[in-house]
Amino acid sequence: MSIYDYTVKTIHNEEKSMADYKGKTLVIVNTASKCGLTPQYKGLQHLYETFKDAGVEVLGFPCNQFMNQEPGTNEEIQSFCDLNYQVTFPLFAKIDVKGEHAHPLYTYLVNHVAEPYRTGEIEWNFVKFLVDGNGNVLKQYPARTEPEVIAEDLHKLLAGQSIS
């Protein structure tokens, strides 16, 4: 199995194959609209705008597992992101990211992070994963890691350097 074997639903409830992202560097993040970390949407949008022409995609997966901080419908989530953060990166349908009902994509991500960058279970909203263009899960960033930190790793990765 690889990350490209999974299918997800867009925020508009359409099936989307992760294989559509082959060759792209991905930043995958579980999001929430009513969290103290919600302002990270701004940094994620900036990351997307900065790197999209270099083949980087930011993929947002709303999740309501952490203190019910994403209670809205997919439509409400999209509207919130548009209105408050002008999000243009792809958002997906609300999912679980841990536990018995975790989406298989997230189970894969957590279990395939390269050492020593595996932090284990998703601890909160806004945990981020960096995936290279070959589908390798390079790094897991804790929830409080600001998107600007990921920008440093993206610069290195796109320049052919190793990340640390």
Non-local (6+) Cβ contacts of 97 within 8 A are 30, 61, 63, 65, 103, 106, 122, 127
- 40 φ/ψ angles, rounded to the nearest 5 degrees: -65, -20
Active site residue 35: yes
Q: Annotated catalytic residue: which of 35, 87, 97, 113?
A: 35
Rounded Cα gap, residues 164 and 152, in angstroms: 10
Q: In what order do the strands lie in the sheet with 56-62?
A: 56-62, 25-31, 128-131, 137-141
Catalytic positions: 35
